[in-house]
Structure 1
Amino acid sequence: MVRISAATWRLTVSRVVIVVEVTTTYLEMRSPSALRPASRALPEHCEIALVPHISADFSKFLYRSVGSELYWADRLVLSREQWQALVSADGTETYVLSVNHAPAGYIELVSRVTGAADSPATSPTTEVEIMYFGLFPEATGQGLGGVLLTEGISQAWTMDSRWETLPPVSRVWVHTCSLDGPAAIPNYEARGLTVYRTETEDLDPQDGAAGLWPASS
């Protein structure tokens, strides 16, 4: 839900800028035993699968299909080569939810080794960020978000078993903001993630749907 307080308007050469107050919420899970799976089982007509060697084009399709109405625009400035480098990096995985064999949502996991550089006396561990997660608009409201998030968190905790260069996973985390869908934080908390920080700042949300579809008449 977008929460606008004391919106500030200023006219630029190209567009009107709207500054809104956006709250970013950070959540984490520090043990796989904290995961609370969704109560609903994955329906028979649905599948969640890892996409090995995902292409930048398919990743961008997923990103825009989920995020075009949620102000996702941070990656839209990237070239195909830059995008491909991100999604092909070691310890990065993309899982796609399909409904009747058609993509309906996805979760992208990104690993980072931490500990050793900050403190030589500390053994390195892996932290896995849920970088992107969501459903296509037509797939919302069916209980599929909890199922997809359950699978994504489960895969995050076993990331080191698939990437031999990664030390054991010690933490799974995500950040979301008040521009996201209203079910985002309740879903994260229902799965066992807990809030550890919030930040509020004034931002100019970028149009994630720009160029995706012609404007409705």
Structure 2
Amino acid sequence: MGRKRKTIVTHLEMLAEPRLPPCPRPHGKFALMRAEKPPIHFYRYLYDTVGRDYFWVNRKRLSDEALARIIHDPEVMICVLYCDGSPAGYFELDFRSMPQVELSFLGLMPEHIGSGIGSFMLREAILTAWSRKPGRLIVQTCTLDHRRALPLYQRMGFTPCGQEEVELEEPD
């Protein structure tokens, strides 16, 4: 039995395509690329490194086969931001329940936190989601995530639509 942590999860939604403010682009050489059918070990590296300080545990429980069924689904889009040749962060959009789209994950590598590229990545994720004309875009964040996550989502046009207390447990 692993460590347990209680958290408040805030569910947010966006019901219409927003008019997004321009965001500063990352410094140096950068590329935002879709990772089509990424190797499981690469996805786990992204997930673990980005989520380590925020108690991201849900995908750690999944077997490689179960994880592959999700991330290799053609209706799941994983985009990795590279800065100067190395991964700086990623986002994951789930289109499997259209007309609802879920921004399942968005996060930065620890060395890029505070650099301003979180706003850039969120803007790109929102634009990518709305390019498919969904009826609703959803995301969730919790009190274990970075303290600026919820305000950023709200600045970019998401509105809270629910809250719940949950207990998360690290897998053994």
Q: Secondary structure of the equivalent of 2:99?
A: strand
Residue of structure 2 aligned with 1:58, choices 17, 35, 42: 42
2:170 matches 1:206: yes
Correspondence list, 1:50-199, <5 A: 50-113=34-97, 125-159=98-132, 168-199=133-164
Please tell me the residue identity of whatever aligns with 1:195: P
TM-score by length of 1: 0.72
Larger of the two Rg values belongs to structure:
1
Would the aligned equivalents of 2:26 and 2:83 in 1 still touch at CA under 8 Å?
A: no
Would the aligned equivalents of 2:14 and 2:159 in 1 still touch at CA under 8 Å?
A: yes
Pairwise CA distance, 1:37:
3.5
RMSD after superposition? 2.0
Q: Distance in 1 between matches of 2:19 and 2:59?
A: 29
Number of equivalences: 172
Counterpart of 2:11 in structure 1 is 26
Please tell me the residue identity of whatever aligns with 1:147: F
Gaps of 5+ in 2: none
Gaps of 5+ in 1: 1-13, 114-124, 160-167, 211-217
Identity %: 29
Q: Distance in 1 between matches of 2:134 and 2:52?
A: 31
Pairwise CA distance, 1:98:
0.8
Please tell me the residue identity of whatever aligns with 2:41: D
Relative contact order, CA 8 A, sep 6+: which one is greater? 2
Deviation by residue 1:108-160 (Cα, 9 ceiling, x = unmatched): 111133xxxxxxxxxxx52110111100111000100000010011111124x
TM-score by length of 2: 0.90
Pairwise CA distance, 1:19:
5.3
Query: Does the C-alpha gap of structure 1 residues 204 and 171 become closer, same or farther in structure 2, counting only changes over 3 Å?
Result: closer
